[in-house]
Homo-oligomer: A and B are copies of this chain.
Amino acid sequence: MPAPPAQPARRGRGRPTRPVLTADGITAEAVRLLEERGQDGLTMAALARRLGVAPSALYNHVATKADVLRAVQDDVNRGIDCSGFADLPWDEALARWAHSYRDAYARHPALVPVMAVTPVDSAPHTVAMYERVCAGLLAGGWPPHLVADVVVAVESFVLGSALDTQAPADIFDPGRLPAPALRAATAARPGGDTARAAFALGLDALLAGLRALRAGAPG
């Protein structure tokens, strides 16, 4: 959190008597901006305006906008629930983690491509998350050489599902094109939160398959 300066800082146009910005304060404001205004709303200019500062001032604390996104991502990962890996069976822990992970990125879909590609190095909360997940899978008897693949597979499904939450409800409407099977399938689909239903079905299937795979391994 950006500790509010005891005295109102910065008047003139030189160096302020006390720093106005901190890297953490920039990150916190970026998270808020992303939540309120979405992907396109997070610009360096908008971020600076909300911090009461000229855009160029940000560059004293971050190197690039990608830097800001990485910090925001680590902050989002801080909120993902890994608690199950401490005391639940690995599959139940994985289910809890996957749900929490999906929900977090459904709130921040712009971060999905960032998360899929950004090295974990120097992102402390992200490393802590993976550490708990890997420890839980190892404790659950998964052979070490498969653990990373299991994590990546579940994560790929989670991030794809997070993107899917952004799809409009009528995404599968074929318009005036002929598509009887597609029409039948969408017509038979129950109403409600369809993205959540697809996620639940897929996660159940994925976990059932992983259980079967795990049962075939020693340990």
Q: Does A185 contact B (CB under 8 A)?
A: yes
Q: What is the CA–CA distance of A170 and B198 in the complex, to the nearest angstrom?
A: 32
Checking B131, B147, B179, B189 against A127 with a beta-carbon cut-off of 8 angstroms, the contacting residue is B179
Chain A contact residues, CB within 8 Å of chain B: 109, 112-113, 116-122, 124, 127-128, 130-132, 134-135, 137-138, 143-161, 163-164, 166-168, 170-175, 177, 179-182, 184-190, 194-195, 197-199, 201-202, 204-210, 212-213
Least Cβ–Cβ distance between A185 and chain B, in angstroms: 4
Please state if A149 and B189 are interface contacts (CB–CB under 8 Å): yes
Complex interface: chain B residues within 8 A of A122 (CB): 175, 177
Q: Can you list the 5 inter-chain pairs with the closest CB atoms, starting with the nearest?
A: A153-B202, A205-B209, A160-B160, A156-B160, A144-B188
Query: Can you offer 18 A-B residue contacts whose CB atoms are under 8 A?
Result: A113-B163, A120-B173, A128-B179, A131-B174, A131-B179, A132-B181, A146-B201, A147-B184, A147-B188, A151-B185, A153-B161, A155-B164, A156-B202, A159-B163, A160-B160, A160-B161, A204-B213, A206-B206
Q: What is the CA–CA distance of A164 and B160 in the complex, to the nearest angstrom?
A: 10
**Other contacts beyond A127-B177, A134-B182: 4, CB < 8 A:** A148-B186, A148-B194, A148-B198, A202-B206
Main secondary structure of the interface of A (DSSP, over half): helix
Please state if A201 and B156 are interface contacts (CB–CB under 8 Å): no
Q: In the assembly, how many copies of this chain are there?
A: 2
Checking B120, B124, B148, B170 against A119 with a beta-carbon cut-off of 8 angstroms, the contacting residue is B170
Please state if A120 and B198 are interface contacts (CB–CB under 8 Å): no
Please state if B116 and A164 are interface contacts (CB–CB under 8 Å): yes
Please state if A154 and B119 are interface contacts (CB–CB under 8 Å): no
Q: What is the CA–CA distance of A163 and B156 in the complex, to the nearest angstrom?
A: 8
Q: What is the CA–CA distance of A113 and B153 in the complex, to the nearest angstrom?
A: 18
Complex interface: chain B residues within 8 A of A182 (CB): 127, 130-131, 134
Most B C-beta atoms less than 10 A away, residue of A144, A163, A181, A199: A181
